[in-house]
Chains A and B, each alone.
Chain A
Amino acid sequence: MKKAKLIFAAAAMALTLGGGILWASDHQDAPNVKGKSTDITDLYVFQGPNTANLVFVGNVQGLLTPAATATAAFDPNTIIEFKIDNNGDNVEDLVIQCVYNNGKMYIYGPVKPTQTGIGSTVVGTAAVVVPVTPYGQAPIIATSANGITAFAGPRDDPFFFDLDQFHKITGGTATGFNNPGTDTFAGTNVMSVVVEVPKTLLNSTGKIGVWLRTAQQQ
């Protein structure tokens, strides 16, 4: 019974994940973004070592080899935007917008957006502007007068998963994971934006909802 259940599960997974589609985190998740500057890999939001701050990490352009990382760049035509819901209706009340321009990442907000949903309009002037850290150099960090700290540039992909073994399971050539497993994402990089924000700027009453969006200009 148990074996039959597992086989069924594996078959169902193979069916769903067939065609070589990865169960990564969100790496290359959909046809319209795969291999593009809009392709998000992961979102992280956590309390900083300074517990008065919250750290927002948005990663794009995953699975970069070191060679590819050397020439990887942010796209001025793509906005990377953290959407923040304050009241549980899953509609953004605040946004943190990240827009690349001429070697620098411009960070806007947290600020009330001029519209909610799919489209984004850059609001006001940047709270902090940070030069993108070139590959191989120490992180360049900028901090605004109101305490927002920002970084933009290539980093090691923080995501870890034995994706190859998972493929074997879904493909029917393995029945489970190995112990120890092998991190398929070892040795690969992402383009990363890290923004650390004082919690006082988030209008929060204790909890927020966050999602990361990318969008392009027409």
Chain B
Amino acid sequence: MKKNLVYPLVTLCALLFILSACHKDHPVTPATTDPNTGKVFNVVGDQVGRPGIATVFVASADRDNFNGTIPSLMSPLYQAKFQAQLQAYNGNNYTTNILGLNAAQFTGVLATDVLNVSTTGTTTYYDGTNVLTGRNLTDDVIDISLTLVFGGPTGASNPTLTSDHVNANDKAFLTSFPYEAAPW
């Protein structure tokens, strides 16, 4: 792949050289060069789809491995571990949640850490109607996550654990780009 890039580049350079040589009397403005084109970044860093997945469901010892696992390979490696963790959080009494997902189904969704986004309508993490169609700045993803993990089939179980009662950001978001509030 790298080699494939080199030849067109060499050709392009040669062409530019010839062109500029031909137009000696009328200097050609050098083509705008991009300082990053072709740079290779191949040392694993961090990876995030949905909020809180790594920190809630991935064991400490697995965290770096999780960040280095591409999403298409996550489910076979992590679904069973997530399910065990979900049951541990619930004293092995997890049945279903407000989405009607049993332990295997719920962790099956979570174990592939990709944020699902609709390109045709409402985007929200969960608004009571739409489920996992994006993530807004205003979405209270912690309460949603706590409710899905601890709230049981109706969302009413473990009421002291299903909301942190912090329902909004500490600064108002902007109604126009770039949407996030100015820094403190």
A binding-site residues for B, Cβ under 8 Å = 4-6, 8-9, 12-13, 15-17, 19, 21-26, 29-33, 36, 38-40, 42-49, 54-55, 57, 60, 64-66, 69, 78-79, 81, 85, 89-91, 99, 101-102, 106, 108, 114-126, 135-136, 139, 141, 149, 151, 154-156, 158-162, 165-166, 169, 175-183, 185-189, 192, 194, 196, 199, 202, 204, 206-218
With a cutoff of 8 Å between Cβ atoms, the chain A residues found around residue B85 in the complex are: 16
Q: Are B54 and A29 closer than 8 Å at their CB atoms? A: yes
Mask of B118-133 contacts with A, CB within 8 angstroms, 1/0: 1111111000000001
How far, in Å, is A111 (CB) from chain B's closest CB? Answer: 12
Given contacts A16-B85, A162-B165, contact A186 B170 (CB under 8 A): yes
Q: Does B3 contact A (CB under 8 A)?
A: no
Cα A211 to Cα B36 in complex, Å, equals 22
Given contacts A44-B136, A90-B70, A125-B34, 10 further A-B contacts (CB under 8 A): A9-B88, A45-B115, A47-B121, A69-B184, A101-B35, A158-B173, A160-B142, A176-B161, A209-B49, A213-B46
Q: Answer yes or no: B150 CB below 8 A from chain A CBs.
A: yes
Chain A residue with Cβ nearest B158 = A6
Which of the 9-residue segments B11-19, B20-28, B37-45, B95-103 touches chain A?
A: B37-45
Q: Which of B43, B71, B117 contacts A215 (CB 8 A)?
A: B43
A96 CB to nearest chain B CB (Å): 13
In the complex, per-residue mask of B61-96: 1 if CB is within 8 Å of any chain A CB, else 0: 001101110111010000000000100111101000
Expressed in whole angstroms, the minimum distance between the Cβ of A188 and any Cβ of chain B is 7
Are A126 and B36 also in contact (CB < 8 A) when A44-B135, A47-B134 are?
Answer: yes
9 A-B residue pairs with Cβ-Cβ distance under 8 Å, sorted by A, are: A43-B49, A47-B122, A118-B70, A125-B32, A156-B181, A156-B184, A210-B49, A211-B114, A215-B41
| Contact residue among A5, A16, A149, A156 (Cβ-Cβ distance under 8 Å from B91) | A5
Task: Tell whether, in the assembled complex, residue A187 and residue B170 are in contact, meaning their CB atoms are under 8 Å apart.
Answer: yes
